Amino acid sequence: MAALAILPSSMAATNSSSSQPPLMASPSPVLHWSPTSTCRRIKPKYPLRISSSTLADSSALLNAAHHTVDTYIKSGMIVGLGSGQASTMAIQYLGRKLRAGAFKDIVGIPMSVVSASEAAKAGIPQGDYQDNSQIDFAFDDADVIEEGTLTAIIGRRSLQGDESLIQEKSILNAAENLVFLISKNQYKGGLEGAIPVLVHSFNWLAPAEEIDDLFLGDAEVWRRPTIGHADPLGGQFPLVTREGHNILDVIFTSPIESLDEVAKSLDKIDGVVDHGVISKFPCAAVIASESGLCIVDNLSKNSVKGV
């Protein structure tokens, strides 16, 4: 059962030089999550008196990025560096904290070409990810997160250059602690939309047909194109990942009852290499809105230390 942490406004200014708390440790109360629970919004770190919703969303995500770096990262850590708008803000802020001397001996493990580029510009030392790499903490954007379970979908956005969904997911799974940065409209139940599924490009049609039969009436299966208009076959230029896979976008038009069950079904299909569903324990989500931040985790009340 997920737990909802009410974040006091004083936490927004937590200094990273303090000792590292457990993943969800804070002086705020932790409540058991239920579908009817609401998060009491707190005053944001930066006043949001902006008429543009886009600018307001960016400012809210900036609060989330700063809170994540200040709360969860400490000197000597190996940190998985995610992709997306909020993750980019967190990388930039982490770089500024490093240059100011607030952190020492940080090594970043980028999840994409974009995050590697941002880390280089921010002056964050980088390491290469290996299957046995130790990663103390990772942060990343998620496309959506299932309310109550914190099961997330990643990989809906277009891949750029040499990016790899497999590498991104591997780093997230390898991290000892994980935080997703999202806006409030990305945390909900009854999810719809696409789940990216990696399949072997030389025999992509067989798993595509099996997936189509499995979710008949609930989802459509389209092979993702590199350029041009999408169609079920991927157009004239189907996307091929750096590992040589095609991406099938399984587009759910009906609410998904359980992402975990969908992931288990996909794992059983011959020819499916991986997919964009990730269920990780422990995991937390920093949810940003104009009225403040809300922290949701999948730790039980008894497993939260320091509260």
Cβ count near 270 (within 10 Å): 10
- Sequence ranges of the chain with CATH classification 3.40.50.1360: 3-185+280-300
Most confident range (mean pLDDT) of 7-21, 98-112, 233-247 is 98-112
**Residue 2: pLDDT over 70:** no
pLDDT of residue 290: 87
What tens digit of pLDDT does each residue of 215-247 get?
999 999 999 998 876 678 877 788 999 999 999
Q: Is 108 helix (H, G, I), strand (E, B) or coil?
A: strand
What percent of the chain clears pLDDT 90, i.e. is strictly above it? 67
CB 220 within 8 A of CB 197: no
pTM of the model: 0.81
Q: Could you say which architecture CATH assigns to the domain 3-185+280-300?
A: 3-Layer(aba) Sandwich (3.40)
Over 90: is that where the pLDDT of 189 sits?
A: yes
Residue 160 pLDDT level (bands cut at 50, 70, 90): low
How many CB atoms are located within 10 Å of the residue 306 CB?
9
- What's the CA gap between 32 and 18, in Å, rounded? 27
Q: Based on the number of CB atoms within 10 Å of its own CB, is 102 exposed (0-12), middle (13-18) or buried (19 or more)?
A: middle
| Whether residue 168 lies in the annotated active site | yes
Q: How far apart are CA 259 and CA 213, in angstroms?
A: 18
Catalytic residue among 118, 168, 176, 290: 168
- 26-73 residue pLDDT tens: 333 232 333 333 453 444 444 433 334 555 678 999 999 999 999 999
